Structure 1
């Protein structure tokens, strides 16, 4: 939860990362547009880092992932491929070599975290005709 316990005036990202570190379990809800937001991907990297280093539990939920296969999260196909294409568009145009490397490394971390999270046993929820 990121809304109730955030201290006013604190850096949101720092507070969220601290909350992730202190959590015993993280539930990741992957949706069609999950990878559109870089902050979701940054949180995912942190969650998977805590799983690896601190032994935290992670439960992935695949919510109406298109087409109907969670492996699209693992492989970054479909909607995720489009999102990553947008994230990567400006990397090659970056003039500053250090910034370009940092941006490329960040995208690689996102891809690796998505693959690792999608390899975990999770739940696949699909929208049906009756909702």
Structure 2
């Protein structure tokens, strides 16, 4: 699979071999659970938000640390992924940390990569949803910052879709 061993991760000061980014709403109890189990069975130390974040800790801080301390990332891009501002923020952070020695593998789960690249279909719906929500912000500075965030999300979506990934269309959860 990823051809990493956990000893390799610690040798380069990474705490995790893999960081899993996914929308829990539509893949946590299906595809992502299967993937997580397989990664663990291969001996890979895998960050998954419900396993690694301690109760009472700052979610954002823990996610940022998990992303920075991972040797590689797998983004399970599903129909609801772009509806989550958390997921989109994670994606931006992952792309900021990415370099030639670290692997980023996108899995397009029931999503066409061209929809992500062109921001059409369910991706356009998600971005429109965020834009409408942000436009309602009364504080002009906050609204501008939120709209700038959407620009970063759009750039990150395009960058992700331009990577060679794994499109999984109409496949079973296993």
TM-score under structure 2 normalisation? 0.67
Secondary structure of the residue aligned to 2:73 is strand
Match of 2:71 among 14, 17, 24: 24
2-side partners of 1:29 and 1:98: how far apart?
33
Aligned length: 126
Mark the runs of 5 or more structure 2 residues left unpaired by the alignment.
1-47
Mark the runs of 5 or more structure 1 residues left unpaired by the alignment.
none
**What is the CA distance between 1:101 and its match in structure 2?**
1.0
Counterpart position of 1:81: 124
After superposition, the CA RMSD in angstroms is 1.9
2-side partners of 1:4 and 1:72: how far apart?
31
2-side partners of 1:42 and 1:126: how far apart?
25
TM-score under structure 1 normalisation? 0.87
Ranked by relative contact order (alpha carbons within 8 Å, sequence separation 6 or more), the top structure is 1
**What is the CA distance between 1:55 and its match in structure 2?**
4.9
4+ residue runs of structure 1 moved beyond 4 angstroms?
none
1-side partners of 2:123 and 2:103: how far apart?
24
